[in-house]
Chains A and B, each alone.
Chain A
């Protein structure tokens, strides 16, 4: 225990003098400021529809108009010219001119020109169904909600990105920090001096992991308190952050054991960071969950963080994530200990 405390004291001092704590505070402050002041609370990514009626029998067009008026993205204008004028001002719009031909509704679609084929096809299918709106049986489509209480849509957009920040900043930054610390000590060759004391490799590595956990917790707590507030599942959030930090630290240590300088390892550090970041693509589209994405441990971790920050009814993802990260970390930790012993013998 005395040795571990000595190692912790040394590692915290070295980290402090390398500005690790300052970097964590500054990056957290920047992210908090950006989240609170720059990212909008509401974000609309939908396309606006501008439409006009060109000599249409009102009874024929009534169901369509009723449908359009129920959506705020739809706006009725007086003429085709007005639509074109508005579209030139707002590129995120398409226009529809509704007219009548042989007692049938017809649509003329005006597009900006940059829309892809998929968008054009989707629009065509939508309008085709509108043309036959009288035959559409809405009651034949039934929507079943597996979790009626889960409504992440009610969370302000700027707060909804907090779990991504918690994934990226404390855990991924920890990966970079630890790699930096390990390579700095490798270049100093101090591990050899340590290895001729009764100290063990596992204590040496554990001290660095604890340092990274503390840095991660500082960052997580700061970001969470100043963006989302204190109404989160703290116990789980802390447990998940520790598990995530343990996983990323062990991975950085294992990586560090294969290289003798940070420049040689840099391509791997960046590559692994990139792979670990890929699951973020699925954050706002949970239905996008191909197997190659879900096997990356940060996929579950990301949703576990969201569950802890915005407590819902899916605690299973938190427990699963903690267990997986703890197990993977333990395997990499054991491999790191062996790898360090080997790499010392190589030098």
Chain B
């Protein structure tokens, strides 16, 4: 559905690249997470994909169409939820959605239905200038669904939202995926990515360092460990042991043989741990 090959972009038109040799493919119906810290090149890549930045070097095709030659009608099948709450503050929530509905030449969703989905039905007739940050974020998210997009770009869709609303947003994304939407999710929130994404790409300094499913990444790069609480010499002892290192494996066998285990938990590396391990950077 989305194909990116050897993508480069420089804001200064020199070899100082914000995005460097980025390649990936996203299948139809897939949720693809694009993960990285601020300034890593996530937004630049997304802006090129949605046409807000000119393609300088490389190849990008969406739904089989080269974006260099794409007609603006392509946007009828694309939805974009921006991280910044870029809505008309002088218009109400429903006026914002109704306006954007008129910009598409395909059947659109009922604006009120979308506002209900994100819990803004009571504020539908209020001016956006009176909305809180979280409400604005939900309005932007709702707006991105107005044209029933089959390709959906989400930039930090849960930023600034409370856990309950975050859960609602995640459910909506999953439901859209079930209906066949392809999702390009840009985030630095590893928990969201881990829960939603079929595959993720790690990007730092404009370059992709890994692309795989969260599970595969964890299996490939995460160290399997176990935490054991057991009685030894009459006292409760807690130990964290690797399941791959020989000495630790022998120690675990001896603890099990002794038969005095109180608790034992396997420890999986989080996606964030893998990211730090692969890129040497934290997600901020």
Contact = CB atoms under 8 A, between A and B. Distances in A.
Interface of A: 2-3, 5-6, 9-10, 13-14, 17-18, 185, 188-190, 192-200, 344-345
B94 to A, nearest CB: 12
B73 A198 contact: yes
Contacts of B127: 17
B22 to A, nearest CB: 18
Counting chain B CB atoms within 10 Å of each CB, the highest count among A6, A195, A196, A344 belongs to: A196
Nearest 7 Cβ contacts at the A-B interface: A6-B102, A197-B103, A189-B86, A196-B80, A17-B90, A198-B72, A199-B103
Given A2-B102, A10-B91, A199-B103, A193 B72 contact: no
Given A14-B88, A197-B75, A198-B72, A192 B103 contact: no
Contact of B104 (A10, A13, A198): A198
The interface size bin for chain B is 20 to 34
Contacts of A17: 90, 127
A161 B106 CA distance: 53
Contacts of A5: 102
Contacts of A200: 72
Contacts of B89: 188
B117 to A, nearest CB: 19
23 contacts: A3-B103, A5-B102, A6-B102, A6-B103, A10-B91, A13-B91, A14-B88, A14-B90, A185-B88, A188-B86, A188-B87, A190-B86, A190-B87, A190-B88, A192-B52, A192-B82, A193-B143, A195-B52, A196-B80, A198-B72, A198-B103, A344-B52, A345-B53
Contact of B75 (A2, A185, A198, A344): A198
A193 B76 contact: no
Nearest to B53: A345
Contacts of B95: 10, 13
B173 interface: no
B26 interface: no
B105 A198 contact: yes
